[in-house]
Structure 1
Amino acid sequence: MTIVPMTLAARIAASRLAPLPTAIATTLRPLFLGVQVKTHPGRIDVADVLAGDVFLPPMIAISVVAADPSVEIAGDCSVLAECCAYVVSEDMAIGNRSTGRDQVALAMCQGVADVLTDFDAPRWGLASITSPAEIRIRPLFTQLSFEKGIAFYATTWRQRLFELGSPMPLPMATERLYTIEDAAEVTLWPTEGVDDGDDGEDGP
């Protein structure tokens, strides 16, 4: 493989990581009725949630918060993406009863985890991607944010994306390769210009 110059548009088109958050959000959105599902570039801090109107509950924000590339064979690599579904909730009147923000958030997180354990859905419509692993739910809110009426949780997981780059061609043999068939030596490489014992005549 030879590294060649690429335009930014070409790199975006070739990227496996770039479309991942949108693909996840697109899959989750119709599965969470009444919940805003969006993408977010990077990690979300409690201060971000309290600062303004960007994170209006109930909401799920999808981010790829880390990525670890790994070389499989020369010229070919995969990348392990660490994904996060940030969940913001508040106390809600659901049906004829009041439901606490922590119950709402945990139910939303469990809903994300349920999707992640499905066979087809967490492929997000992408090719060459593993099933989610290391699924984890944890609270991120502080006492201050809870007092202000917000619960802030995260569901995290990891997925590996394959087929990045172009594998290098296999090394060329530098000496004759052969096998034995019917007690006769048959040349495997090179296949031209080498006498393998057959003179091309049909007679005995």
Structure 2
Amino acid sequence: MIEPRTLDQILAADALASFQAAIVATLRTLNPGVTIEPHPGKVDLSELVSKTVVKAPGLSVGWSRIKTGQHAEGHFYLAVEWVVYVVAEARIIGGRRVEKEAVGIALGGRVLEILADMEHSLWGLTRILPPETTPPAELKPLFTIRDQAQGIAYYTVTWTQIMADRGSSVFPDPAGHWNEQDRRIDYADASSIDELAPWIPALREPDDA
């Protein structure tokens, strides 16, 4: 059952914000020297061209769409379509010039590598499923003529990831323990059995006379 919440409580319980923060924190740890910032959602190309999204070489983490679905037991899930904007420019690395396209593809490929890692792609969180494989994570270019003139290359990495087991179940949650001697499940409170009764097909044994 949903209880009333103040705005402060809503913000404190916002799992999406902590999800995004965890992605940003993990990418920062795994990519020292690369600027990595959160982004509130879809980015306008004018923001990219004016370099207000993130400083090159950089990654800006946002999302483009969120879908919801229902589990049979009452919980719901959120399928978040994440997008990382890759901003790259030519760099002098190891005494030689590396073109912006090479930098951008390398950074995008690095994000794909992290998404394929079963440990880091969970971002240190619980109730998060690995990135979906249908559709798979994708790296693609995002160019304009003006971008080319300014010496900046842009790419996006997109993937979908599910936040599972949100909300509450319709099933009662009393916990019992197995009684090995009597071969039965015992509950500390007899009322728990009444809560479970609608969900358990059973025949009541007659009381001893």
Instruction: Establish whether TM, by shorter chain, passes 0.5.
Output: yes
Partners of 1:20 and 1:98 lie apart in 2 by 36
1:118-157 aligned within 5 A: 118-133=117-132, 134-157=136-159
* Structure 1 residues 139 and 176, CA gap change in structure 2 (3 angstroms): closer
Which structure has the larger Rg? 1
Distance (whole Å) between structure 1 residues aligned to residue 95 and residue 57 of structure 2: 18
Segments of structure 1 that go 5 or more residues without pairing to the other structure are 179-186, 200-204
8 Å Cα contact 1:87-1:153 kept in structure 2 = yes
Residues 128, 162 of structure 1: 8 Å contact kept: yes
The alpha carbon displacement at 1:172 in A equals: 4.3
Which residue of the partner structure matches residue 11 of structure 1?
10
Q: TM-score, normalised by structure 1?
A: 0.82
Q: C-alpha offsets along residues 123-159 of structure 1, whole Å, 9 cap, x if unaligned?
A: 1111011111220001111122112111010111111
Cα distance change, pair 78–174 in 1 and its aligned pair in 2 (3 A): closer
Equivalent-residue separation in structure 2 for 1:132 and 1:163 (angstroms): 16
Instruction: Answer yes or no: is the 8 Å Cα contact 1:46–1:140 preserved in 2.
Output: no
Q: What pairs with 1:48-127 in structure 2 (closer than 5 Å)? A: 48-73=47-72, 75-127=74-126
Of all paired residues, the percent bearing the same amino acid is: 31
Q: CA shift at 1:37, angstroms? A: 0.7
Aligned partners of 1:55 and 1:77: how far apart in 2? 34
Q: For 1:176 and 1:148, how far apart are their aligned partners in 2?
A: 70
- Greater displacement, 12-21 / 109-118: 12-21
Partner SS state of residue 20, structure 1: helix
Cα separation, 1, equivalents of 2:130 and 2:58: 24
Contact 2:138/2:159 (<8 A) preserved:
yes
User: Closer, same or farther in 2 for the Cα pair 1:100/1:52, shift >3 Å?
Assistant: closer
**What whole-Å deviation, never above 9, does each CA across 1:5-45 have from its counterpart, x for those lacking one?**
10122222322212111110000102112110110111123
CA distance in 2, matches of 1:156, 1:174: 41
Other structure's SS at 1:38 match:
strand
More helix by share: 2
The answer to whether the 8 A contact 1:58-1:88 is kept is yes
TM-score (norm 2): 0.80
Point out the more displaced range, 134-143 or 42-51: 42-51
Equivalent in the alignment of 1:46: 45
| Change in 2 beyond 3 A, CA 1:47/1:77 | same
CA distance in 1, matches of 2:95, 2:71: 55
Stretch deviating more after TM superposition (74-83 or 145-154): 74-83
After TM superposition, the structure 1 stretch with the greater mean CA deviation from structure 2, 59-68 or 106-115, is 59-68
Code of the residue aligned with 2:90 in structure 1: it is D
The total of aligned residue pairs comes to: 183
1:114 Cα deviation after fit? 0.5
Distance change in 2, residues 1:175/1:155 (3 Å): closer
Q: Whose strand proportion is higher, 1 or 2? A: 1
Decide whether aligned partners of structure 1 residues 124 and 101 sit closer, same or farther in structure 2, where only a CA change above 3 A counts.
same
- Pick closer, same or farther for the CA change 1:34–1:76 going to 2, 3 Å: same
